[in-house]
Amino acid sequence: MASSWCWNCLSRLRVSPTPRAILPPQLITPRVASASFHSSAVHYANPTKKKGALVTAKYRQGQTLRRKKKKTTERARPPAVGERKALRKRIVLSNPNALEVEGMQDLSSETMVDARLRGSVLGLPLPMLDQLRAVQAFKPKQGWSIFRRPGTVLRRDTLEMGRLFEKISGEGDAPEKGKVVKKILTGLKGSGKTVHLLQAMAMGFLKQWVVVSVPDARDLVSGETSYSPLEGTSPLQYVQPNAVSALLMRTVEANRAVLSSLKISQKHKDIPALKPSSTLEDLAKLGFQDVAVAWPVFQALWTELTATAAAPGMEKDFKPRPPMLVTVDGLAHWMKESAYRSSDYSPIHAHDLVLVKHFLSLLQNGQASLKNGGMVLYATSTSNNPAVYTLEVALDQLAARQAGISPSSPEYPSPEAYSGADERVLELFKPTVGKEPQFELQTLGGLTRDEARGYLEYFARSGLLREEVNETWVAEKWSLSGGGIIGELEKLGRHVKSTAQPTVVLN
């Protein structure tokens, strides 16, 4: 039997949308995809609450804003002004936990020239520590706080310097009595340049010399202290009254015993407050009590210390003046322009500061300035050293002259063309003509193996080193330290190794 449906009707039925009633009931409303286990439809779910909508309060329910209370944290008290700097520059010279070295000798006028003690560590006399602190001879990173008491190793350079102190302070008509020795110390980092200056200051105090020290040359050119032009100078010079006052204070604290025993012997018209019966200590105190007269007081004190005879009418209380020791650490900072500015905002060269110029003049006119003899020791620094090309050339020229190379020789070092070398620095290092002795260049190297062994044995006796100190072990550490560089030896010696039964054998 033929169907009443034609092909055209069937095609229309295929493309027409399916009536809603024909679809199964579960496909009418989609289910929630995230919860496939639930069989309820979305239409039957509870309506979501809109954000920010007001909710009606229930009976006797308050509408209060509840916030979490922030926990109050107690802040520490900020450090006082200068407290961090004082902590950073604090000097500790004793460690009660370290062992006391038995039989340790002190540095004295006899031991500082005794060649039999070469390589041994000598303790600094306790009464002298205050004097060394006054001139700021100790540095924070030198490792003084790991030993029971401060001591210094007696090396070859130390013995030679001790003999120079003996000759300059000679009795009677010694040939080198009253001589002025001028040296510039150089060397690798950790070679002991600053400690060498400390040893010189300790010997100066032992010999009752007057010690004048500039612990850091950077402080005078960094622009951190007041300055003013000095009238009547051409070219214009600048004075730093606060820096001069601080220098006078350090000099009085370190040399109080010597200055208090000497009375003024010259007439100083620029200082009307000075009495004829005043001592050199009273004269120096005027400089840091009144900063305005600090520079005239310093000039008057220098005149008194270098006097060889008293002025007419003041011969009664005149005593011979002792030799002087002048030390400066960080010489390279004085060989370039400073951080100060002139009135037209041009940089001021370090040689135009009168205090810097005074100390640099001792390299050229030391014998004329220090008439009673003495020693001038200026050291370069490698830990805080500016790159000054002219100074490097000047030091190379000085080393060449000491080696016998003539300035006219092609091997003589000279500044490169268009390098902008500072002529003032080169002029300072030129050889002097006449009786004035030329200053020397002394390069500090490492300790010898015998000196290194004595130095490391001191670490073992102090309880820091728990190793067997013998020739093989010392040779190994001497090589690791770059040939006995004392700063590297200290790092190797203070390295403690814990063992089950710590023993120290000194062969």
Which tens digits make up the pLDDT trace of 324-371? 999 999 999 999 999 999 999 999 999 999 999 999 999 988 788 899
At 101, list the tokens. 């070295």
At 118, list the tokens. 């070469």
Type of residue found at 459: F
Q: How far apart are CA 188 and CA 206, in angstroms?
A: 29
Look at the chain and count its residues. Answer: 507
Indicate whether 70 pLDDT > 80.
no
Specify which residues 213 forms β-bridges with: 327
Which tens digits make up the pLDDT trace of 396-424? 999 999 999 988 899 999 999 888 899 99
pLDDT band at 32 (very low <50, low <70, confident <90, very high): very low
pTM of the model: 0.81
The listed range with the strongest mean pLDDT (18-27, 61-70, 202-211, 491-500) is 202-211
Mean residue pLDDT of the chain comes to 85
Residue carrying structure tokens 């007419």: 312
Please give the average per-residue pLDDT across 231-256, as a whole number: 93
- CB 29 within 8 Å of CB 41: yes
Q: Percentages helix, strand, coil for the chain, rounded to the nearest 5?
A: 35, 10, 50
Q: How far apart are CA 335 and CA 317, in angstroms?
A: 42
